Chains A and B, each alone.
Chain A
């Protein structure tokens, strides 16, 4: 959190927002809560603000947990990509909603190659193509 504190109030707010999205997507509930508080705080946030210290501590704690994990089990692989997640993403893609770009991060390291392709399409903002591929995958799953 230290570096962006040097940035403008807007860039700080944006960073807090991104951190909140990523943390929420990975199920890091406490970090999500802290970054939400930070996002809603009056910017610029002072470096002395206890909230920033709490966020740093939580990131450090999560880092230790992740490092302690066995190497062969990546975090993303352990996340089950349910059809509910895909449905939600599909809706966003159909609505051209830019937050689909953030949500797609969860597919980045999926074991299913087609989901990785969906991720790549979304990173290129090819939302229509990504939506068609998800529809195809969901259809395949149902039959």
Chain B
């Protein structure tokens, strides 16, 4: 039997008294996390600590609950987290605005412990049922799932083909991305989203002229400009669909060349503003590029690639993700062995 792990509820409120009251109500039944403001909550979630449910205050001094909600609903990794607004505001318009943003429920302060528990329990029960259904559906549709994975990989390969890369790059880098996602504690569904969308990271290179992509010598600044268009081209190719997988693939394509210090492209966003999926794939992609042989370079030793990753913590990469990745060297080597060129 799989051991039971209680679901995680994140409470976000700038008042310590409210945090105390709400956490005391929920602690006996759930794993409770707390944040004293919107920015702290967003940072916690961006680091990969994704809760199953959020109780969110609206009026907070740094970022309002509405803005926290909007930001989470904008990222395919976090858009499915149910949010319950907990607030002293109780007029009809506020409730409507919250629900319009995608909140699942509304609780007004002062809170009543039985109501809080009942509302939270309802959402968690819904979540559990949804997980069970998804699992059953996946078992029943195994062949479709496998076909989908193959199609995605072949699409990814098509782009890599143009870039002198072998098909195994896609296999290794997506396996590294999956490893990082698992080790930071993402649930199976989110890990799978990252694993399946990682192969599509360079799909925009389909739109990059061969003359630039396969040029043997160094690129001119103009040619670099052309190369730098591929994340956006990829996002355009993938399009804007309702499917969480395609949304994640779009995010990955658009953000896998952003750098943690803000010096990447195409948008120069930095830190936790870069979506988690993009930060994970950046490490997986570069690590495999470094340790693989390319027409213009030999394969780096693992030690040299590790040194590079460590030196780029906080510059190119999210340092915490690098640390997590490198803690699992055995599994990294097993992936290398499994998908040799």
Contact = CB atoms under 8 A, between A and B. Distances in A.
Given A10-B114, A10-B117, A125 B34 contact: yes
Interface in A66-104: 95-99, 101
Contacts of A39: 28
Interface stretch (B18-26, B214-222, B227-235, B304-312): B18-26
Contact of B27 (A96, A99, A125, A128): A99
B61 interface: no
A119 interface: no
Interface string A1-40: 0000000101101100110000000000000000000010
B32 interface: yes
B27 A10 contact: no
B32 A125 contact: no
A132 to B, nearest CB: 14
Given A101-B20, A125-B16, A96 B35 contact: yes
Contact of B32 (A13, A18, A98): A98
A98 B27 contact: yes
Interface in B1-51: 10-11, 16, 19-20, 23-25, 27-28, 31-36, 40, 44, 49
Q: Which of the four size classes fits the interface of chain A? A: 20 to 34
B113 interface: yes
A98 B117 contact: no
A39 B27 CA distance: 12
Contacts of B36: 124-127
A105 interface: no
A123 interface: yes
B28 A13 contact: yes
A95 B27 contact: no
A7 B49 CA distance: 35
Given A95-B49, A96-B44, A127 B34 contact: yes
Contacts of A125: 16, 19-20, 34, 36
A135 to B, nearest CB: 15
B27 A17 contact: yes
Nearest to B41: A96
B114 A98 contact: no
A118 B40 CA distance: 19
Interface string B65-99: 00000000000000000000000000000000000
Contacts of A98: 11, 19, 23, 27, 32-34
Contacts of A124: 16, 36
A96 B28 contact: no
A125 B36 CA distance: 7
A14 B28 contact: yes
Contacts of A95: 33, 49
B19 A8 contact: no
Contacts of B25: 10, 14
Contacts of B44: 96
Nearest to B28: A17
Given A17-B28, A101-B20, A127-B34, A96 B49 contact: yes
Contacts of B23: 98, 101
Nearest to A20: B28
Contacts of B40: 96, 128
Contacts of A127: 34, 36
Interface of A: 8, 10-11, 13-14, 17-18, 39, 95-99, 101, 123-128
10 contacts: A8-B113, A8-B114, A10-B28, A10-B113, A13-B28, A18-B24, A101-B23, A125-B20, A125-B36, A127-B36
